[in-house]
Amino acid sequence: MRVVSLVNGSLLSEAATLYAITYAKSMQLPLTLLFIDNGDESLEKHRLAVSSLKELAASQEVEVESVTLKGDTLTQLQHFSRLYAIDTLFCATRKFTKDHSFSDKIVKAGLQTDVAVVKIKSVPKVRGYRRVFFAAGDSPHPRAFLLWLGLLEDESVLGKLCLTPRSYHGFRRTDSSSKRQYIAAPFLQLARMLHKNVEMVSVLQPHNATELYNYLLVNCFDLVLFDAAAYPQKLLNRVTDATATNSILFYPRKS
């Protein structure tokens, strides 16, 4: 297995790759810096970015390689994901949904890997982040949970796990804080066994975009991880567009 990060020489792809390096280090997996040359990107910018990222990965004792493919991006990605066992594919997206990032096509391509779409709002916060919020829906997806753990680099980083009903349709009066704590307990216990600094946030009603945005704003998180399968895409778009917090949208592999 390997972690793969798409790089194209842009500042956003470099920043997204920093998260990939942290995750690869935590999971003790090699990292592949993948560049697909479709003729639209600057080869010089890419060369400089890869050189810098390789140096950083080596300083973190992460095994790293760079791979360049030529041709249509989606075609090459599909081919690459079939040939190699990929743990997670990291790719940067634009700051605002209306800009129609290529990451949307990657998510819909049905690649044989989990996809982590990284939306960078503040480059300085990529380095030295200290507060990571995990919006997990009504129960953490094991692979999204693993990504969250991997991003909690050491005990100085606080991780907050938030469980909430997916929708009012699924919301029942019998839902309780104790029930959500019961669901979260094995995940939090495992995190603490791995010496992660974690807490739980229990929400008894479904989030709306305004409430979620306000919560992130008030609590000054540096990074928020969403299990994208647990929330409506419109809510994710509204929150990640409005907030100044860096975010990662996790899309699990489709069997």
pLDDT in tens, the chain (255 residues): 999 999 988 889 999 999 999 999 999 999 999 998 877 777 888 889 899 999 999 999 999 999 999 988 899 999 999 999 999 999 998 766 665 678 888 988 888 899 999 999 999 899 889 999 999 988 899 999 999 999 998 889 999 999 886 554 444 444 556 777 888 899 999 999 999 999 998 664 556 788 888 888 888 899 999 999 988 888 999 999 888 999 999 999 886
The one-letter amino acid code at 153 reads E
> Quick check: helix, strand or coil at residue 75?
helix
Domain stops at, among 68, 95, 120 = 120
Residue 225: enclosing H or E segment and its boundaries? Answer: strand 223-227
Answer yes or no: do 137 and 215 share one domain. yes
Domain stops at, among 65, 89, 120 = 120
The one-letter amino acid code at 251 reads Y
126/120 Cα distance (integer angstroms): 8
Answer yes or no: do 97 and 36 share one domain. yes
Q: What is the CATH number of the domain that holds 53?
A: 3.40.50.620
The answer to whether residue 252 is domain-embedded is no
Answer yes or no: do 130 and 111 share one domain. no
The answer to whether residue 250 is domain-embedded is no
Domain range for 26 is 2-120
Residue 174: the pLDDT is 45
Q: Would the pTM count as exceeding 0.85?
A: yes
Q: How many domains does the chain have?
A: 2
Residue 33: enclosing H or E segment and its boundaries? Answer: strand 31-37
Domain stops at, among 86, 102, 120 = 120
Nearest to 3 by CA among 159, 146, 123, 108: 146
The answer to whether residue 227 is domain-embedded is yes
In the sheet that holds 223-227, the strands lie side by side as 64-70, 31-37, 2-6, 86-93, 114-119, 246-251, 223-227, 131-135, 158-163, 197-202
Answer yes or no: do 8 and 26 share one domain. yes
Alpha-helical segments (H) within the chain: 11-27, 43-59, 73-83, 103-108, 142-151, 177-193, 209-219, 233-242
Answer yes or no: do 40 and 130 share one domain. no
Answer yes or no: do 111 and 16 share one domain. yes
